[in-house]
């Protein structure tokens, strides 16, 4: 366990409770805030300051759990959870569909373009790009024939949109290719959906005619259905299992949490974590350094367990959720608050 002086602990507790008093036990928060005095001996490392808010919830009541655990019980429907669903089931998807429709309706198309019911060129039958996380079932697609050359079409989009015309060229050339793809992001992602994008794909039909395909893409974030939540007030224990990413390193042993205050903190953080996108496309994987750890977590309450695996956070892939030995169709998204708590518990032995 990290060795902190009394002055360091006082500093951590004061700053942490000032930021997160509403999520900590009210009586404990008020007592510590009343009893502590400011101590300013030296500047703290950034990593310590960032971990302070999570540390206060997990400093006590942690005991080691051996690696041997009993097998999970046969699957049974979970009891009614007192936790409140972050959103009603299906609400995220409905919101994402509405956003896609509005963006598509307003998407810019050159003047005199004629709408088509079928792709006017075989080259446009398959989408040429996926941007961010995409659920194809929510994509909006349209086809047009534009009365201008493909060079003029590229220039029109460069003049009227954030599209980058350089995406349509090949190395060593400044002239657009006869068929290519441009795109731009059409707004910010939200809690209900990932960042929308508009994708423009074109193909030359003749000297003054170009086929155009336009897609609006995004993905709904999975709704947290009742079976993906834990009944916070019924939790008996939470087991956190660290996993190393770099080869050749041994992870710390699992940690079993039974303290009621810490169980509430961990259960609340877990229930508030977002679901993963409906279809997550892998991004660039990071390269872990030092003692980087990933964590699996298992919640236990009478008759049931719910486990979240590590997933692949370096590649932005969600965690599998396993209820009483059965993998659920929903996945858990990456969440900094939950990860901070898990990391602090695992390192505070």
- Same domain? 200 vs 293: no
Are 205 and 312 contained in the same domain? Answer: no
Say if residue 239 is in the same domain as residue 321. Answer: yes
For residues 291-299, average pLDDT = 86
| Residue-level pLDDT at 118 | 93
The more confident residue out of 24 and 67 is 24
* Terminal Cα distance for the chain, rounded: 4
Dist. CA 309–CA 318, nearest whole Å: 9
How does DSSP classify residue 165? G
Q: Are residues 115 and 71 in the same domain?
A: no
Which tokens go with 277?
A: 């996108």
The dihedrals phi and psi of 224, each to the nearest 5 degrees, come to -80, 95
Number of domains the chain contains:
3
Torsion over CA: 152, 155, 161, 166 (sign): positive
Residue ranges of the alpha helices (H) in 232-335? 260-272
- What CATH number does the domain containing 192 carry? 3.30.530
Beta bridge partner(s), residue 98: none
Same domain, 74 and 178: no
Is 134 in contact with 280 (CB distance < 8 Å)? no
User: Among 158, 189, 217, which residue terminates a domain?
Assistant: 217
308 shares its domain with 323:
yes
Mean pLDDT of 131-146: 89
CB 102, CB 129: distance < 8 Å: no
pLDDT of residue 215: 95
The span from the CA of 246 to the CA of 340, in Å, is: 19
pLDDT tens readout for residues 44-69: 333 333 344 443 333 333 333 333 33
CB atoms under 10 Å from CB of 183, counted, come to 22
23-32, 49-58, 123-132: range with lowest mean pLDDT: 49-58
**Mean pLDDT over the full length of the chain:** 77
The contacts of residue 53 (CB under 8 Å, 6+ apart) are 15, 16, 19, 20, 340
Sign of the CA dihedral running 24, 26, 27, 32: positive
Closest CA to 298 of 252, 266, 329: 266
Q: Are residues 79 and 112 in the same domain?
A: no
C-alpha closest to that of 131 among 201, 198, 222: 198
**pLDDT: which is higher, 136 or 209:** 209
- Both 247 and 264 in one domain: the answer is yes
State whether 80 and 109 are in the same domain.
no
CA atoms within 13 A on the CB side of 92: 24
Q: Please check whether residues 284 and 237 belong to one and the same domain.
A: yes
pLDDT tens digit sequence for 241-292 = 988 776 566 778 899 999 999 999 999 999 988 888 766 555 556 665 556 7
- Same domain (yes/no): 112, 210: yes
Kindly calculate the radius of gyration of the chain based on its CA atoms and give it in whole angstroms.
Answer: 26
Domain of 133, in residue numbers:
91-217
Whole-prediction pTM value?
0.56
Q: Tell me, what's the pLDDT at 255?
A: 93
* Residue 215, helix vs strand vs coil: strand
Are residues 138 and 187 part of one domain? yes
Q: How far apart are CA 164 and CA 144, in angstroms?
A: 21
Q: Which residue has the tokens 């996945």?
A: 331
């Amino acid at each position: 366990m990290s060795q902190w002086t009394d002055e360091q602990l006082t500093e951590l507790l004061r700053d942490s409770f000032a930021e997160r008093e509403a999520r900590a036990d009210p009586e404990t928060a008020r007592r510590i805030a009343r009893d502590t005095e400011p101590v300013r001996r030296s500047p703290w490392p950034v990593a310590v300051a960032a971990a302070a808010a999570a540390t206060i919830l997990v400093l006590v009541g942690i005991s080691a759990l051996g690696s041997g655990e009993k097998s999970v019980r046969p699957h049974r429907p979970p009891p009614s959870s007192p936790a409140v669903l972050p959103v009603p089931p299906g609400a995220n998807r409905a919101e994402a569909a509405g956003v896609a429709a509005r963006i598509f309706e307003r998407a810019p198309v050159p003047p005199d373009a004629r709408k088509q019911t079928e792709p006017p060129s075989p080259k446009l039958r398959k989408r040429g790009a996926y941007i961010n996380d995409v659920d194809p079932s929510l994509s909006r697609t349209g086809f047009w024939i534009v009365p201008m050359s493909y060079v003029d079409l590229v220039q029109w989009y460069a003049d009227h949109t954030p599209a980058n015309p350089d995406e349509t060229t090949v190395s060593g050339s400044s002239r657009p290719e006869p068929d290519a793809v441009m795109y731009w992001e059409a707004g910010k992602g939200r809690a209900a959906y990932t960042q929308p994008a508009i994708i423009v794909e074109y193909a030359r039909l003749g000297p003054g005619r170009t086929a155009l395909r336009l897609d609006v893409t995004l993905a709904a974030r999975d709704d947290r259905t009742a079976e993906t939540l834990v009944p916070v007030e019924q939790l008996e224990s939470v087991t956190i299992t660290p996993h190393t990413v770099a080869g050749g390193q041994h992870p710390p042993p699992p940690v079993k949490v039974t303290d009621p205050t810490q169980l509430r903190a961990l259960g609340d953080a877990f229930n508030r974590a977002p679901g993963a996108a409906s279809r997550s496309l892998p991004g660039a994987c990071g390269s872990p350094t030092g003692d980087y750890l990933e964590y699996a977590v298992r919640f236990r309450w009478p008759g049931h367990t719910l486990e979240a695996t590590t997933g692949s956070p370096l590649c932005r892939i969600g965690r599998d959720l396993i209820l009483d030995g059965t993998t659920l169709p929903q996945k858990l998204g990456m969440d900094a608050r939950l990860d901070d708590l898990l990391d602090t518990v695992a390192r505070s032995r």
